[in-house]
Amino acid sequence: MLADSPLVNPASDWWQTNVGAEPVPLNSVGCSTEYGPVPPSDGFPVEQCSSSLEVNRPIDEKELSTLEAELFQRTYYTREDPLSCPPLTDEGERRIEEFIDSCGLYDRTSSRWVDLPEDPTSSDFFQEAFQRILNTLLVWSNVSANRTIVCLPRETRQFNAFPALAMCITSLSGHRHGGTIPGYQNYATPIEMKLEKDRWLASDIIQSAIYAKQCFLQQHNRDMVPCLLLTEKHVQVFIFDKNGVTLSYPVHIHKNPLAFVRIAIQASGALGFDPSVFWKEGARYVSYGSTSLRIIGDSPIYINPKLVGEGSTCWKVMDEQGRICLARSFATRACKLRQELEWMSYRDTQGLPGVGRMVGHYEGTFLSVVKQPRLVNCPHFFYPLLNKKCYLFLEHYERSILQFNDRMELLCAFRDAIAGHANLWRVGIWHRDIRPKNVRIGQPGSSVGRRGVLVGLKRAKRIGPNPAAFSYPNYLTGDNTFKSISLLTSTVTPIHTDYLDDLESFFYILCYVCSVYQGPQTTVDQISPWITDWDSDDPLRSATVKNNFLSTLRPDDLVTPYFGETFSGLIQNLRKFLVTYMWIRFNVFNQVPHLRQSPPEVDYANFLQYFDDAIRDLDVEESTQVDDADLLSYTSSVSSPEIGTPDTMIGLEDVKDDIGVLIDLGPMSSAVSE
C-alpha cells in the first residue's frame, strides 16, 4: 500500500508491480569504461544525438540497463488525482462537456469512445482512432495551428525506438523545433500504446524513458518531457525531468472522458522548454537577466547523455564585445548550487592565475515547479531532490591538454594548471577531479600563469581555513583512469587523501600523453602495456596496476620518441617525488595523521620546479630563447618558498630507481592478479 504522503517512492514495490503480463527481464548495470587511445569527453557527442534514430532500431542491452539504474530510485507516484491541481473552473468543465457531446466521437449511452474497439487483439487496431480523437481535440482547443498528432510506423519489439503516436510541434514562437517531417527534434509529447493485458509497469516506464531521453538529447533545451500511455481502457501520464519520472494513476478514458480530454489538452501545452534559450531573427540566444548572448552554431558543444541528474548542456556563445564564452546549463540541488557559485565567484574576484574564470551566473526556478502547474500535483517542498536549473558563463578554453600543438605548449600548460591547483588549495578549495578535460590549454598569447588553466569545479570541496587538515576520501570523484592509489584503495581501507592525490592524477595524465601520443593530434596504434587496466572498473585492479607502474617504471620504455629525454627525465623526477610521499602516507602518515613532512607550499613548489627545469631543458634542446625569470616565477597568489634541488628534497635521497613494491596491498593484490 502506498504511503499517505503526497509523493511516495515505492522503490521496493513498483518494479515488481504487474498489471497483466509477465515481468520483462532487465539487465543489471555493468558498463565498462574504455578509453582506447584517447579518453572521450564527459559530454555526449552532438553528432550522435542531433540526428534522428533509425526507424525500428533495436534498443541495446546497455541502454536498457542504464535507464533501469537511473530510474529505479527516481520514480515517484502522485498520491492525488493529477487533475486536482489546479481544479477545473465551472466554465472550463462546461466547455469540455460540450466538446464531448458535440464531437461525435463519444457515446453517452454506452459510455464509450465509439471508434475504440472493446476487445482489440493488437494496439494497431486503435492507433488511428486515437489519432482522430486527439487531432479533433487539438482543433477544438485552438492549438492545431502548431500541434498535430502523427502515426509512426514501427515493428513490434520488446522495446521500440519510436512511439506509436507523437504530438509534434509544427511551429513555435521563440523556438526552432517545428517541421513537416516528424522526428524527435519536434516531438512535444511521445504517446505509447499497448493492450491492457500487455501492460507491465517496469516495461512501461523504460519504454517511455527511451522516448523522453531522445527528446532531451535532440531538442537541447527541454526541462521536462511528458509522455502518455494509452490502452483501450486507460490513459497514464509519465513526466520526465532531471529529478526522475513522476507517474499519475491510470485514468479510465471511457468512464471519465472529461479527465481524458483534460490530460490531452494539458499534455499539448506543458512542453517544458527552457525559456533562457530561444531563437530570434534567425539566430539562437541564451539569456540571463537582461543580457543575451548569441549561440555559435545550432547545436551545443556537448550534452550529458544521462536522463536523470544534472543534465549538463554546454553552449559556445559570443557576447556583445565579440568574446567567446562557454554557457553551461545544469540542474543541481539548490543548496549545492549556492555553495558552488560562492566558490566560483570568490575565485573570480580573487583573479586566481591558472584557474578558469567565470563571466557570470544565473539561477533559474525549481524544476519541480516547471512541471507542477497542470500535469501533476507535486509541490516542490515535498519533492525529494529539489533540483534547480542554473547557468554558468565561463571563459572558453578551446583545447584540452590532449590537443597540444607542440611539446613546449604541453609543458607550459601543465605547469600553469598545477600552479592554479595550488592557488585553489591556498584559498581553501580542493579540486578533486583532475582529468584531461578539466586541464585546458590557455588562450593564444596568454602570459605566464595562464598558459594552462584548471576548470571543472563541479566536484570541488571547501576544506576550510586549514587546508592541511586531515581530509576524508571520496571515491566517487574523478575517473578510475587517473585516480590516485589512495582513492582507489579507500573502497576497502580508509586512507588519508589531500592535494597530493590530485598531483598524482596530474602525473598519470602526463604519463598517458607521453605514451599514447607520438605527435600533436597523433596517437599510437597500440596502448603501452604500462598503462593497461588503468581504466579498470575494479578499483583494486586499477590500484594494483598503478602500484606496479610506480614501483618498476622505466620512463624510456614508456615515452614515445617524439617527447624524448626531457620528458623521460621529468617523469622520472615526478615519480620519485610521488613515491616518497606515498611511502610516507601508507607507512607513517596514515597511522599518525597529524605528522607531515612538509607544508603544501613546499610540495607544490618542488613539483613545479621539475616542470620549470623541463621547460628550460626543452628550450635548450629546441634552441629557443626563453626568459629565465618567467620560467622560475610562481603565481602571484602563492608565495614561492625556497626551492631545493631534487637531491636535497625531504626523504628523496632514500628513494632508488628500482624501489620494488611501493605499497603492500596484501591479499588484495594477489586476488586481483589472479
pTM over 0.85: no
Give domain status of residue 10, yes or no: no
Provide the CATH number for the domain around residue 166. Answer: 3.90.1570.30
Question: In which band, very low, low, confident or very high, does the pLDDT at 385 lie, cut at 50, 70 and 90?
Answer: low
Angle between helices 201-219 and 61-72 (to 10 degrees): 100
Q: Tell which wins on pLDDT, 280 or 652.
A: 280
- For the residues of 220-269, what is the DSSP string, one character each? S-BS-EEEEEE-SSEEEEEEEETTEEEEPPPEETTT-HHHHHHHHHHHHH
Cα torsion angle, 86, 88, 91, 95, sign = positive
Give domain status of residue 357, yes or no: no
Q: Is the pLDDT of residue 8 over 90?
A: no
**Closest to 261 (Cα-Cα) out of 95, 393, 128, 149:** 95
Q: State the chain's mean pLDDT as an integer.
A: 75
What mean pLDDT comes out for the span 472-478?
54
Contacting residues for 522 by C-beta, under 8 A, at least 6 apart? none
Q: Give CA–CA dist 640/605, Å, rounded.
A: 6
pLDDT tens profile 109-152:
999 999 898 888 888 888 999 999 999 999 998 877 788 899 88
Contacting residues for 102 by C-beta, under 8 A, at least 6 apart? none
Residues in the chain: 674
Which of 214, 244, 268 is the endpoint of a domain?
268
Q: Give CA–CA dist 665/674, Å, rounded.
A: 14
Provide the CATH number for the domain around residue 496. Answer: 1.10.510.10
pLDDT recorded at residue 185: 85
Give domain status of residue 111, yes or no: yes
pLDDT recorded at residue 180: 55
In one letter, which amino acid is 506? F
Give domain status of residue 411, yes or no: yes
Would you give the end-to-end CA distance of the chain in angstroms?
Answer: 48
Distances (CA, A) of 166 to 50, 122, 188, 221, 664: 18, 19, 7, 19, 60
pLDDT tens profile 366-377:
665 444 433 333
Angle between helices 257-269 and 90-102 (to 10 degrees): 110
Domain assignment of residue 570, given as a range = 398-627
Co-location of 64 and 211 in the same domain = yes
C-beta separation of 333 from 310 below 8 A: no
Total domains in the fold of the chain: 2
552: its cell numbers: 618498476
pLDDT recorded at residue 375: 35
Q: Is the pLDDT of residue 607 over 90?
A: yes
Question: In which band, very low, low, confident or very high, does the pLDDT at 662 lie, cut at 50, 70 and 90?
Answer: very low
Which of 234, 268, 302 is the endpoint of a domain?
268
| Alpha helices by DSSP H, 6-60 | 46-49
Question: In which band, very low, low, confident or very high, does the pLDDT at 421 lie, cut at 50, 70 and 90?
Answer: very high
Which of 607, 627, 647 is the endpoint of a domain?
627
Task: Say how many C-beta atoms besides its own lie within 10 A of residue 320's C-beta.
Answer: 9
What mean pLDDT comes out for the span 24-38?
26
Beta strands in 108-224 (DSSP E): 112-113, 147-151, 165-169, 187-193
Give domain status of residue 140, yes or no: yes
pLDDT tens profile 328-382:
888 776 555 555 555 565 566 467 899 988 887 887 766 654 444 333 333 333 3
Q: Is the pLDDT of residue 40 over 80?
A: no
Q: Is the pLDDT of residue 505 over 90?
A: yes
Q: Is the pLDDT of residue 386 over 70?
A: no
Q: Is the pLDDT of residue 592 over 80?
A: no
Give domain status of residue 671, yes or no: no
**Residue 338 host element (H or E):** helix 334-350
Give domain status of residue 60, yes or no: yes
pLDDT recorded at residue 57: 56
Give domain status of residue 381, yes or no: no
Q: Is the peptide bond before 600 cis (omega within 30 degrees of 0)?
A: no
Q: Tell which wins on pLDDT, 652 or 576.
A: 576
157: its cell numbers: 519489439
